[in-house]
Structure 1
Amino acid sequence: MTTTTLPVAVYPAHLLGVPNRITLVRTVVSMLVATFAFASGDLWLLVIGYVVYWFGDSLDGWVARIRNEETVSGAVFDIVCDRACSFLLAAAFMTTYPETIGPLAIYLIQFGVLDTMLTLSFLLWKETLSPNYFYKVDQPIYVWNWSKPAKAVNTGAVVVSLVVAHQLDLLWLPYVVACAAVVVKVVSLVRLVDILRGRRPALPALP
Structure 2
Amino acid sequence: MMATVPVPLPVRPALLLGVPNRITLIRTVLAMVIAAVAFRTGALSWLIVGYAAYWIGDIADGAVARYRDEESEGGAVFDIVCDRACSFLLAAAFMATFPLTIGPLAIFLVQFGVLDTMLSLAFLLWRGTLSPNYFYKVDYPIWLWNWSKPAKAVNTAAVVVSLVIAHQTGAQWLPYTMAIAACVVKIASSYRLIAILRGRRAAVPRV
Q: TM-score range by the shorter chain?
A: over 0.9
Counterparts of 2:38 and 2:129, CA distance in 1 = 37
What per-residue deviation string (whole Å, max 9, x for no partner) do you get for residues 125-164 of structure 1?
0020000000000000000000000000002010001111
> In structure 2, what is the Cα distance between the partners aligned to 1:85 and 1:74?
16
1:69 is paired with a residue whose SS is coil
> What CA distance in whole angstroms lies between the structure 2 residues aligned with 1:161 and 1:97?
14
Query: Are positions 1:12 and 2:13 aligned together?
Result: yes
Distance 1:124 1:32 in 2: 34
* Per-residue CA distance 1:92-111 (angstroms, 9 max, x = gap): 00011000000000000010
1:33 aligns with 2:39: no
1:44 match: 45
Residues in 1 aligned to 2:131 and 2:175: alpha-carbon distance in whole angstroms: 29
Paired letter, 2:154:
V
Gaps of 5+ in 2: 1-5
Aligned to 2:104: 103
What residue is the counterpart of 1:63 in the other structure?
64
- In structure 1, the gaps of 5 or more residues are none
Quote the Cα distance in structure 2 between the aligned partners of 1:5 and 1:196. 26
| Length, aligned pairs only | 202
Is 2:116 the partner of 1:115?
A: yes
**Runs of 4+ displaced beyond 4 Å:** none
Alignment of 1:128-207 (within 5 A): 128-205=129-206, 207=207
Provide the secondary structure at the position in 2 that maps to 1:8: coil
Q: 1-side partners of 2:80 and 2:45: how far apart?
A: 25
Partner SS for 2:155? helix
SS in 2 for 1:7: coil
Equivalent residue of 2:205, what SS? coil
**Which amino acid counterpart does residue 16 of structure 1 have in structure 2?**
L
- Residue 125 (str. 1) matches residue 126 (str. 2): yes
